[in-house]
Amino acid sequence: RSVDIDARSIAAARFGIVAPNTREAMVKHAREFAERGIPFIFDPGQALPLFDGAEFRAFIEQADYVTVNDYESNLLQQKTGWSEAKIAEHVTAYIVTRGPKGSLVHTRKGTLDIPPAAERRITDPTGCGDAYRAGLIFGLMRDMDLATSGRIASLMGALKIVALGGGHGLYATLTAMRYLSRDVTTVVTVADDGGSSGRMRAELDVIPPGDLRMALAALLSAPAALADRAEGPHRDRRAL
């Protein structure tokens, strides 16, 4: 479970994000990032119903960045009683995505208007927000300024197909996505603790690699036989 992960024990951690999760996990990880002085993004998203105004104000005061879409921004302002400018006073940047209108980056010094990336065709916006945040983190971790990081985020949000999950469902999705785009990103969850995955966690204290292995096999841009080799060690004990 994600709540069992202790951010304070990850020595190499340099940047974090507190995204929609269980109530307990979000509170815990925000506190741990703040205690270690690790800069992090607070991204409440679908977790907006879980907290009251005082709790949201506490999250904002701990975070370095807050990212929301325009609808979520209105809800966050209602719950906290803080305006966009007031929220921006407590963080390095308050970032509001606006779909085809681009995004706004509110800071203590003013607001940056980040233009959208020019799209060739809009198919499905699902996952664009996650890709935007990935681009934003990429820029911030490389000490790029907010304007540059925002433009990278905007480009990522327009280019990428993003799949999240695990198991055979993710494998099937990724296999199909390879025929639609060459730009496919996947976030593989590794929370499975049943069956052999549970035994690996208990006996070896490692993250089970099965879902990650399946995702890599699905993304191989090669004939099916090569994908079979990726599965090989678990079928015939041969090394890839």
Residues that are catalytic: 130
Q: Which residue is it, tokens 């879409």? A: 69
Which among 47, 17, 13, 60 is positioned nearest to 187, based on CA atoms? 17
Alpha helices in the chain (DSSP H): 23-36, 53-62, 70-80, 84-90, 128-141, 146-159, 167-177, 195-204, 210-219, 224-231
Query: Strand 161-165 relative to strand 93-97: parallel, antiparallel, unpaired?
Result: unpaired
Angstrom distance (rounded) from CA 62 to CA 80:
14
Angstrom distance (rounded) from CA 146 to CA 64:
13
Angstrom distance (rounded) from CA 45 to CA 208:
28
Q: Which residue is it, tokens 């990650």? A: 212
